[in-house]
Amino acid sequence: MNFDLDHASDHAIAKAYVAFLVAKKMNDGHAARAAFCAKENVAPKLLYANPHIAGIASLFADQTNVERVADMTVREYLRYHYYYIHQAYKYGIPEMQQTWLGHHIIKSPADCWAYQELIWRQKPDIVLELGVMFGGASVFFAHVLELIGHGEVLGVDISLKNLKHKPKKGGRITYLEGDSGSKEMLDEVARRCKGKRVLVIADSDHEKEHVLKELRLYSRFVKPGGYYVVEDTLNDLMGFHPVPNEGPLAAARQFMAENDDFEIDRRLPEKYLMSLSPDGFLRRKGGKA
Ligand SMILES: C[S@@+](CC[C@H](N)C(=O)[O-])C[C@H]1O[C@@H](n2cnc3c(N)ncnc32)[C@H](O)[C@@H]1O
């Protein structure tokens, strides 16, 4: 690959460099950088002055375990996680994608742990997942429900073409294909959720208007004490690319300004410090704490 030095983005170069380190099983250092620059025709200054590289390189440095990560800031870690793990499938490093028992999942390990605690505590009848993509998160939720011995996953996606597994007949996962913003989908979800305790996890289209529309349509299924999670609010805060200027966080804030019956639970996602959904865990007031 030859980078156009006038237009190559820092991220494109960093992505290629991480892929190079992973493929060559090399540690970051002058030798690796020189080899990469020679191979890809990149000026060394584009690596050394690259804001992505600073934190990421420390993970690929030839140091002991704690030194590899201790100097990273939380911001650097979040940027690293977003581009090279969370979105690895999109940026050409699929071997870096987070997996759950082999299923590709687009979350963070910290949030998965928080979800496990939430599901255990709430014992929902239905985990309503808006936006399923590969289906790895549905499998994760279903496994947790299986261990608890209660509940099922209802996954909605505008297209199920990216699903990487077939849900078992009579198993805990059901998928519905269609626009979460459509009346038909709302009616079908309403039919299946009638009288049930529902945990909503919204992770579909991240444009503010769509996230807000989902909040207005699907928050009605959350009973007092239950949760509606608006995922990826961190995108707005960190300016992750490609994301809209106004995304899930802006939608969650507007919804909270319009509604008095939900409150933000900061403690649960922040317990593990690095949630991708800060101020996105919305709890309906009332019910058990
Ligand atoms: C970020 S992925 C979901 C990842 C999944 N929840 C996980 O954690 O592994 C977003 C998904 O939302 C779907 N999507 C986008 N717009 C949608 C819409 N209007 N209705 C339903 N799904 C939509 C996309 O097709 C895509 O599969």
CB 181 less than 6 A from any atom of ligand 1: yes
For residue 42, report the distance from its CA to the centre of ligand 1, in Å.
36
Please write the tens of the pLDDT for every residue from 45-69. Answer: 888 888 788 777 777 777 777 777 7
Q: Where are the alpha helices (DSSP H) in 6-135?
A: 10-24, 30-40, 44-48, 51-59, 65-70, 74-81, 109-122
CB 136 less than 6 A from any atom of ligand 1: yes
Q: How many CA atoms lie within 13 A of 4 on its CB side?
A: 2
Q: Of the segments 70-74, 251-255, 284-288, which one has the largest average pLDDT value? A: 251-255
Residue 4 within any structural domain of the chain: no
For residue 46, report the distance from its CA to the centre of ligand 1, in Å.
34
Residues 151 and 219 in one domain: yes
Which residue, of 63, 97, 131, is where some domain finishes? 97
Which residue, of 97, 124, 148, is where some domain finishes? 97
pLDDT for residue 87 is more than 80? yes
Beta-sheet strands, E only, within 147-204: 152-157, 173-177, 198-202
Residue 188 within any structural domain of the chain: yes
What tokens does 289 get?
């704490």
Q: Higher-confidence residue: 4 or 111?
A: 111
Residues 170 and 147 in one domain: yes
Order of strands across the sheet with 198-202? 173-177, 152-157, 126-130, 198-202, 227-230, 281-284, 262-264
Q: How far apart are CA 149 and CA 141, in angstroms?
A: 12
What tokens does 216 get?
């207005």
Give the number of other Cβ atoms within 10 Å of residue 77's Cβ. 17
Please write the tens of the pLDDT for every residue from 228-248. Answer: 999 999 999 888 866 667 899
Residue 1 within any structural domain of the chain: no
Residue 289 within any structural domain of the chain: no
Residue 15 within any structural domain of the chain: yes
Beta carbons of 105 and 142 less than 8 angstroms apart: no
CB 104 less than 6 A from any atom of ligand 1: no
Residues 21 and 123 in one domain: no
What is the structure's pLDDT at 289?
A: 60
Give the number of other Cβ atoms within 10 Å of residue 182's Cβ. 12
Collect all residues with Cβ–Cβ distance below 8 Å to 212 and sequence separation of at least 6: 251, 254, 255
What tokens does 269 get?
């996602």
What is the structure's pLDDT at 1?
A: 54
Residues 151 and 191 in one domain: yes
Residues 173 and 45 in one domain: no
Residue 102 within any structural domain of the chain: no
CB 105 less than 6 A from any atom of ligand 1: yes
Q: Report strand pairing: 173-177 vs 152-157.
A: parallel
Collect all residues with Cβ–Cβ distance below 8 Å to 39 and sequence separation of at least 6: 20
Residues 158 and 253 in one domain: yes
What is the structure's pLDDT at 145?
A: 98
Residues 194 and 260 in one domain: yes
What is the structure's pLDDT at 241?
A: 67
Long-range (24+ apart) CB contacts under 8 A made by 27-35 are 27/60, 27/61, 27/62, 28/57, 28/58, 28/60, 28/61, 28/62, 29/61, 29/62, 32/60
What is the structure's pLDDT at 288?
A: 72
pLDDT for residue 225 is more than 60? yes
What is the structure's pLDDT at 247?
A: 92
What tokens does 137 get?
């998160």
What is the structure's pLDDT at 115?
A: 98
Single-letter residue type at 194: K
Residues 75 and 188 in one domain: no
Mean per-residue pLDDT of the chain: 90
Single-letter residue type at 61: A
CB 128 less than 6 A from any atom of ligand 1: no
CB 135 less than 6 A from any atom of ligand 1: no
Over residues 135-143, the mean pLDDT reads 98
Residue 117 within any structural domain of the chain: yes
What is the structure's pLDDT at 242?
A: 61
CB 276 less than 6 A from any atom of ligand 1: no
Residues 117 and 92 in one domain: no
Over residues 201-205, the mean pLDDT reads 97
Residues 179 and 247 in one domain: yes
- pTM for the model: 0.85
For residue 157, report the distance from its CA to the centre of ligand 1, in Å.
6
Domain span at 198 = 109-284
pLDDT for residue 176 is more than 70? yes
Residue with tokens 């190079």: 20
Q: Higher-confidence residue: 265 or 63?
A: 265
What is the structure's pLDDT at 243?
A: 63
CATH of the domain at 257: 3.40.50.150
Please write the tens of the pLDDT for every residue from 14-23. Answer: 888 888 888 8
Residues 80 and 147 in one domain: no
Residues 137 and 240 in one domain: yes
What is the structure's pLDDT at 284?
A: 97
What domain count does the chain have? 2
Residue 150 within any structural domain of the chain: yes
Q: Higher-confidence residue: 37 or 63?
A: 37
Q: How far apart are CA 242 and CA 224, in angstroms?
A: 35
